[in-house]
């Protein structure tokens, strides 16, 4: 046993390390158990490295189209190795920063894999098989998630990648087929396409980005088509055959069977909570395939055990995991706080970006709202034209009866930044009228939000009637 501990956090990702830091701020003595790198998947193999490489692709795209801005750049090329070095430098800096924060907060970081052996005890096994037992009155599970493995013949071929190995490629392939048209698949499709890879996307459902408002999925399909990204919807990969230089991917589509030859295949069909070997059954913690069951305080059915982030299932986003961590820490330390999932923003770092918060139009109608919708195209926004990125729109979904804004959906440059205003407004239950009362500076992309809100009432200023 170590010195007295108030809270044990199992998992050092964006949920776990934030929970540890907040608990330490509130006066707790915290031990954080992490088997790999601090920052978890998001910081090391997900959010941050992906976006670093997407920035490389964005800069390359601007260089290729420099003449449109009056800047002549002869034959720009991608130095993939240098892009990888930059990516790793950013990751290293941020991981080191998390370590410094935990050290300064006097959080004890323990390397190893944690397993519950009682409601107050975690057994930690390190890489050498050595074990130690940690005891604390409260435990937070933050073990994250892992990629889903599809039972497709040939999926084990070394040229079939997951998101982690795709980020670590030593060189760019000439062609790639991506299984899955969700957030991960769409981001990688944009990244590799912009860098000159011939990309094909296969999606089982009837549109891309199925979990977001249909307008976003439809717009992304149009953008993919315009950029020569082939998208097969209502289709599935049934087999992957190995070859000397290429893989042959058998795709079952509405038009019949297709054989597509590519250098690499990327499986990007989603993630599942890391539930195995946690000791949940022995302790009696309730869970199912979707994740650990928690209440609004992030507490499980066992009062001493809390769970946060991807391990509870549902929306798997780093910023939501961090919020879970704050809520769990606050409640453990006696500051009652309930989790509010009303306005959880989703950001898709495609080129251009997409973002969404609140209800989609279909979700609002399903919940019984009579909705009014306002849409404003970015090709009528001055800043978008200046940026040379006028593909996209802002869509507002509002309640007809009271005018409350229920959801906002954006496709366009800096959508991940633009979604902050709607997130705050929906959190505060603002109406269309209240949103419109805020003066939006000119010339900015944010003016498109104001125009879409005005369009709900049929009075957008810069839109032909």
Per the annotation, the verdict on 319 as an active-site residue is no
- Any idea what DSSP says for residue 230? E
State how far the Cα of 325 lies from the Cα of 336, in Å rounded to an integer.
Answer: 13
Specify the DSSP element, H or E, that contains 161: strand 160-161
Q: Would you report the helix, strand and coil content of the chain in percent, each value rounded to 5?
A: 35, 25, 40
- What the block records as the tokens of 423 is 């997130």
Question: What is the dihedral angle through the alpha carbons of 95, 96, 101, 107, rounded to the nearest 10 degrees?
Answer: 80
**368-379 per-residue burial string, b: 16 or more CB within 10 A, e: under 16:** ebebbbbbbbbe
CA–chain centroid gap for 374, Å, is 26
For every residue of 9-61, DSSP letters joined together read: EE--STTHHHHHHHHHHTT--EEEEESS-TTHHHHHHSHHHHHHHHHHHHHHH
- What the block records as the tokens of 331 is 């409640």
State how far the Cα of 317 lies from the Cα of 29, in Å rounded to an integer.
Answer: 27
For every residue of 321-390, DSSP letters joined together read: HHHHHHHHHHHHTT-------TT--EEE-SSS-EEEEE--HHHHHHTT--EEEEEEEGGG-HHHHHHT--
State how far the Cα of 157 lies from the Cα of 168, in Å rounded to an integer.
Answer: 17
CA–chain centroid gap for 178, Å, is 17
How buried is 146 (Cβ within 10 angstroms: 0-12 exposed, 13-18 middle, 19+ buried)? middle
377: β partners: 393
Choosing from 324, 335, 414, 442, the catalytic residue is 442
Question: Catalytic site residues?
Answer: 442
């Amino acid at each position: 046993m170590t010195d007295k501990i108030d809270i044990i956090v199992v998992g050092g990702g964006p949920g776990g390390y934030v929970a540890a830091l907040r608990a330490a701020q509130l006066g707790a003595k915290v031990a954080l158990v992490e088997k790999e790198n601090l920052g978890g998947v998001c910081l090391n193999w997900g959010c941050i490295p992906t976006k670093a490489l997407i920035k490389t692709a964005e800069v390359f795209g601007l260089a290729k189209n420099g003449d449109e801005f009056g800047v002549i750049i002869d034959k720009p090329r991608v130095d993939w190795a240098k892009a990888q070095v930059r990516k790793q430098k950013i990751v290293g800096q941020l991981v080191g920063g998390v370590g410094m924060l935990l050290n300064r907060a006097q959080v004890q970081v323990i390397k190893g894999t944690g397993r519950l052996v009682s409601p107050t005890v975690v057994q930690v096994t390190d890489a050498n098989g050595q074990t130690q037992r940690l005891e604390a009155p409260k435990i937070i599970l933050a073990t994250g998630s892992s990629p889903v493995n599809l039972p497709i013949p040939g999926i084990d071929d070394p040229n079939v990648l997951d998101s982690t190995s795709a980020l670590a490629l030593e060189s760019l392939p000439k062609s790639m087929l991506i299984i899955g048209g969700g957030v991960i698949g769409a981001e990688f499709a944009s990244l590799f396409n912009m860098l000159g890879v011939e990309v094909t996307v296969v999606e089982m459902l009837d549109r891309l980005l199925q979990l977001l408002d249909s307008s976003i999925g439809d717009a992304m399909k149009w953008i993919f088509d315009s950029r020569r990204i082939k998208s097969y919807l209502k289709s599935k990969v049934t087999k992957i055959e190995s070859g000397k230089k290429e893989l042959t991917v058998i795709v079952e589509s509405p038009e019949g069977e297709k054989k597509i030859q590519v250098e690499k295949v990327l499986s990007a069909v989603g993630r599942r909570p890391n539930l195995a070997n946690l000791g949940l059954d022995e302790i009696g913690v309730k869970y199912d395939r979707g994740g650990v069951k928690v209440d609004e305080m992030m507490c499980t059915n066992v009062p001493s055990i809390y769970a946060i982030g991807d391990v509870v299932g549902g929306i798997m986003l780093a910023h939501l995991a961090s919020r879970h961590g704050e809520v769990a820490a606050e409640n453990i330390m006696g500051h009652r706080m309930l989790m509010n999932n009303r306005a959880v923003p989703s950001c898709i770092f495609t080129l251009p970006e997409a973002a969404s918060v609140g209800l989609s139009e279909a979700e609002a109608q399903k919940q019984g709202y009579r909705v009014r919708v306002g849409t404003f195209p970015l090709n009528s926004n001055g800043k978008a034209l200046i940026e040379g990125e006028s593909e996209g729109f802002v869509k507002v979904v509002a309640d007809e009866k009271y005018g409350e804004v229920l959801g906002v959906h954006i496709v366009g440059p800096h959508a991940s930044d633009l979604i902050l205003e709607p997130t705050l407004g929906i959190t505060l239950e603002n109406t269309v009228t209240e949103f419109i009362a805020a003066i939006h500076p000119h010339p900015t992309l944010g003016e498109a939000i104001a125009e879409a809100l005005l369009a709900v009432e049929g009075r957008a200023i810069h839109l032909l009637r």
